[in-house]
């Protein structure tokens, strides 16, 4: 009797370079593909997890919009190979165990995640499956360098990017991507009952705020590859020179693809190296290295998203959050054009240019003196690439509370940033056409005064 293989999809919504799917194809038995929506689960149940893992963070609204379409695209790719994508909701441990019994599966495969709650969940599922005599295997798929393989000379995890990246470049070259299983070489298991993706309400309805996202993006693996090819052909050569200018279409736009796993970092690494001069590839891959560094930090400091990495910041005198002030920042109504342009770009397109992410984040934590976690939470809800490692690492970097962070006393001046990186005002004009007219709000704070206030606040914790 057939003993199917279950492939559990998570942050890896692709058929190409998917080691879990590849292993199932190699095993030769019929395949059950499943995606589990488990966000309602109470992961604070400490009989399953330690106190350190209060739970897996639910995805924000923009990421869910992305996932809906990306899952549809994945279902299409699988269908073209004779495989069905089964949708199930509920606590993942119960859903996977139930599906294994229901299908009499002999193996369950998945690709690794790196947050503590996710790792503990996976470990507990793995051990229960093994106890039940089922093969359970996890694979390296979403990071080029596993976080536990890199250590400083003193045997510690890295806290500084440059030596971290040097160590990565000195490690064995990342493997070549695996091919997608081709139709005819894999068989789907007999039909397994599935919930309907549409019933999970990942798409906004009342109101439907996703028009700008639809105009900007085509989620899915095929579109991801087309976009990477276009960047390799047209963008990579000028990347280093132009990547800081928000009105230029100069960066790869790979962040949501990598976040949801439509594209693997191995595909990016080898695609870019094959396509470009060593120099062009090196500067681009260094940025991909920051993504790896974020996961390295998240793995070794699981509270990266909730706690200051530098404990001195626990005593930082943040302002009490004023909903009016926070709301004006969120809605792009601060009266500082470059900040408002960024916040409106975010709302309309689900992303924001990297330079402007730094400017808007600095404005929140320094000029408005609001806790970085408030900004991080807004980005989490509104970014299509909202990432548990990159978002939190970068917010702590801007706030100065992280390791290898920008020093707090280096306060970005948004007006100078605009002069330097949006010299002709094209970016501001695109998102804030009314800047400079009577209809545009007065600045919410005086930039000089608020800078002084920020430095005085920092003085109170500097020596601690």
Residue 36 or residue 398: which is nearer to ligand FAD going by CB? 398
E strand spans, 194-251: none
Closest contact distance (angstroms) between CB of 289 and ligand FAD is 8
Q: Is residue 454 part of an annotated ligand binding site?
A: no
Taking the C-alpha atoms of residue 421 and residue 63, their distance in angstroms, rounded to an integer, is 28
Q: Which residue has the tokens 């409106």?
A: 344
* 361 in Cβ contact with 376 (< 8 Å): no
Closest CB 202 distance from ligand FAD, rounded Å: 18
The answer to the question of whether 239 is labelled as a binding residue is yes
CB of 91 to ligand FAD, least distance (A): 26
Binding mask 290-309 for ligand FAD (x = CB under 6 A): xx--x---------------
Helices (H) and strands (E) in the chain, counts: 19, 5
* Burial 334-350, CB ≥16 within 10 A → b, else e: bebbbbbbbbbbbbbbb
**132: number of Cβ within 10 Å:** 11
Can you tell me the distance from the alpha carbon of 382 to that of 399, in angstroms, rounded to the nearest whole number? 20
How far apart are CB 401 and ligand FAD at their closest, in Å?
A: 12
Query: Which residue number, 330 or 391, has a Cβ lying nearer to ligand FAD?
Result: 391
**How many whole angstroms separate alpha carbon 225 and alpha carbon 231?**
10
DSSP for residue 401: -
Q: Least distance to ligand FAD from the beta carbon of 386, Å?
A: 5
Cβ proximity to ligand FAD: between 91 and 280 the closer is 280
Q: Which of 390, 396, 417, 450 binds ligand FAD (CB under 6 A)?
A: 390
Please check if 253 is assigned to a binding site. yes
Distance of CA 94 to CAs 99, 128, 146, 218, 409, Å?
Answer: 8, 11, 28, 33, 49
CA atoms of 133 and 275, how far apart (whole Å)? 46
Q: The tokens of 56 are what?
A: 């897996």
Is the CB of 82 or the CB of 157 nearer to ligand FAD?
A: 157
To the question of whether residue 385 is assigned a binding role by annotation, the answer is: yes
Residue 379's CB: how many other CB atoms inside 10 A? 23
Window of 89-97, 384-392, 409-417, 454-462 that interacts with ligand FAD by CB under 6 A? 384-392
**CA neighbor of 5 nearest in space, from 146, 123, 103:** 103
The rounded distance, in Å, linking the Cα atoms of 125 and 224 is 31
139 lies in the site for ligand FAD, by CB under 6 A: no
Binding residue per annotation — 284?
Answer: yes
401 is in an annotated binding site: no
For residue 269, count CB atoms less than 10 angstroms from its CB and return exposed for 0-12, middle for 13-18, buried for 19 or more. Answer: buried
Range in contact with ligand FAD (rule: CB under 6 A) among 25-33, 137-145, 333-341, 391-399 = 391-399
Measured distance CA(75)–CA(14) in Å, rounded: 10
Q: How far is the CB of 210 from ligand FAD (least distance, A)?
A: 18
CB of 288 vs ligand FAD, minimal distance in Å = 4
What residues numbered 220-279 form the site for ligand FAD, per CB under 6 A? 243, 251-255, 258-259
Q: Judged by CB under 6 A, does residue 143 bind ligand FAD?
A: no
Of 68-76, 117-125, 285-293, 330-338, the segment contacting ligand FAD by CB under 6 A is 285-293
DSSP of 303-324: GGGTS-SSGGGGG--PPPPPHH
Q: What does the per-residue mask of binding to ligand FAD show for 339-378, with x meaning CB under 6 A? A: ---------------x--xx--x-----------------
- Closer Cβ to ligand FAD, 287 or 307, answer by number: 287
Residue 235 CA, chain-centre distance (Å), reads 22
From 116, 125, 370, 386, residue interacting with ligand FAD (rule: CB under 6 A): 386
The site that binds ligand FAD (CB under 6 A) totals a number of residues, namely: 27
Question: Is 251 labelled as part of a ligand binding site?
Answer: yes
> With respect to ligand FAD, which residue has the nearer C-beta, 33 or 288?
288
Q: Which residues bind ligand FAD (CB under 6 A)?
A: 243, 251-255, 258-259, 287-288, 290-291, 294, 354, 357-358, 361, 379, 383, 385-387, 390-391, 394-395, 398
Per the annotation, binding residues for FAD are 239, 251-255, 284, 385-387
Per the annotation, binding residues are 239, 251-255, 284, 385-387
């Amino acid at each position: 009797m057939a003993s199917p293989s279950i492939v559990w999809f998570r942050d890896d919504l692709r058929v190409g370079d998917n080691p879990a799917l590849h292993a199932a194809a190699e095993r030769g038995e019929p395949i059950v593909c499943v995606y589990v929506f488990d966000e309602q689960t109470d992961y604070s149940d400490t009989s399953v997890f330690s106190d350190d893992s209060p739970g897996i963070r639910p995805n924000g609204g923009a990421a869910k919009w992305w996932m809906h379409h990306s899952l549809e695209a994945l279902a299409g790719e699988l269908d073209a190979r004779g495989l069905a994508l089964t949708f199930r909701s509920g606590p993942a441990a119960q859903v996977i165990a139930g599906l294994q019994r229901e299908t009499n599966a002999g193996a369950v495969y998945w690709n690794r995640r790196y947050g503590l709650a996710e790792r503990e969940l996976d470990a507990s599922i793995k051990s229960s499956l093994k106890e039940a005599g089922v093969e359970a295997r996890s694979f390296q798929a979403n990071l080029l360098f596993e976080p536990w393989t890199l250590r400083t000379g003193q045997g510690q995890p890295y806290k500084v990017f440059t030596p971290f990246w040097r160590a990565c470049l000195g490690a064995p070259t990342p493997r070549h991507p695996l091919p997608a299983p081709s139709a005819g070489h894999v068989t789907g298991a007999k039909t397994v009952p599935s919930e309907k993706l549409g019933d999970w309400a990942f798409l906004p309805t009342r109101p439907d705020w996703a028009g700008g996202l639809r105009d900007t993006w085509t989620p899915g693996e095929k579109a991801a590859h087309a976009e990477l090819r276009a960047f390799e052909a047209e963008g990579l050569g000028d990347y280093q020179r132009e990547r800081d200018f928000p009105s230029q279409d100069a960066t790869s736009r790979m962040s949501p693809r990598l976040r949801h796993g439509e594209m693997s970092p191995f595909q990016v690494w080898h695609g870019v190296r094959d396509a470009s001069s060593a120099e062009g590839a090196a500067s681009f891959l260094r940025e991909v290295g920051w993504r790896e560094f974020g996961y390295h930090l998240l793995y070794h400091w699981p509270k990266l998203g909730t706690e200051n990495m530098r404990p001195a910041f626990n005593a930082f005198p943040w302002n009490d959050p004023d909903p009016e002030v926070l709301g004006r920042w969120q809605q792009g109504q601060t009266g500082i054009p470059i900040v408002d342009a960024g916040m409106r770009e975010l709302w309309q397109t689900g992303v924001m240019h990297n330079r402007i992410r730094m400017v808007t984040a600095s404005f929140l934590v320094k000029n408005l003196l609001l806790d970085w976690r408030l900004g991080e939470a807004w980005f989490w809800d509104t970014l299509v690439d909202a990432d548990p490692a990159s978002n939190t690492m970068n917010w702590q970097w801007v706030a100065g509370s992280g390791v290898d962070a920008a020093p707090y006393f280096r306060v970005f001046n948004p007006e100078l940033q605009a002069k330097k990186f949006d010299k002709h005002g094209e970016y501001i004009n695109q998102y804030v056409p009314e800047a400079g007219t009577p209809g545009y709000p007065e600045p919410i704070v005086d930039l000089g005064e608020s800078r002084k206030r920020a430095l005085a606040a920092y003085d109170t914790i500097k020596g601690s």
